Chain A
């Protein structure tokens, strides 16, 4: 046998694999393996005390035909995502436009808007649980007791519990969206605005025809991240409402968590997790497909 020839290219390739080896190992053990396991366990009955027993499609049939909470949690989550993600995009964008200025002190305000994002989510959740508290909360005092504006009972009213969590989440995440949009706004080449001005465009025209097309990749990014993250909402609902009132904040992962770690139906939970996985993949794929028509990617100038 001939010894392999160690060309420079091959040496580099070997080193390349050495460098990414830890990740490959981790990916197989902690990402790929679990995904395969979850999909497999979805077809079993598994209470973790005994080995899983094959159950065929039983879990899935039960989920789709005989599980009101599954449907409820899915609908809850969809409503929540539908409320939250547009808020994040619009408010994040407007905030970025607002602080995208060289006026003195603007960076101070940026830091202020970013502070809630720094706060651990659990802390933000209990703070808002207190602010939104139905009898003693600050919000009720500020709106209702002093101004006479009737305030919804956010944490106890079935219809206002989701908006309550959306408010908290917007407050605690908007810094991220602001930073992303700010970076995108600052990357818009000024000559495009000058050209638009020469063509007689006012501020609104410039916004619609220059700014928004150029930041559309960021809009897309914020939407995708928003969907993936908010579909997995857990901490806020767990701390604020624990799924209540009347299961109105029983979100998908909260329900899944209960199935897995409260009642230990691991097979059933795995089936739910498989469905979640495919929903998220589907939504991501859908966003990519839609974005191909709507997102404008600036060609780099040579």
Chain B
């Protein structure tokens, strides 16, 4: 019952969000701020996690594929495809669901409990559209760049392993990351990430917008936003993968 209620309220909220802004000037004033806050400020975590995971993945793949029947370039190939297909889109979006989702839910939730949203409504402003639309658009615009950035940095992390350790030779690694490259995987990953970006921002906004009570409730809204957007990211991952890669 609660799920049905939440779904209904989410759809009604999105009907108010996804309309033309009252004033485009105000939208374009908010939009760059959201690009910076949700996108650029996420860069450090994307850089750190991607480089380290790329490096770790290379070491683990090499250790688990120590078989004379497998060619030496296998490690590079597996690292690249794992990054392209799953890590840089899904896992990175799950991590960003924590950062971006909690940020959005707590910001909008605080505005709700301090009556700032009521103030907007009393002024005659479509508060849902004014507050949420720039966040959704900004994160959807930024996510492809973050994903491509993550792919490149993950591969770079593996390359560092080949340079600074004896786990794999640089030549084998480079051969691996170039071998049997399927550009469609990048396209698939970007499509997924766009959907995830919409899910993360809209679900977090929903929980923030309908927060009630005090500071404790904003915390709860933030937790619910992260948990539920993460579950939905996994659900849509399965759905999109079935549609785009399933035979």
Tell whether A and B belong to one assembly: no
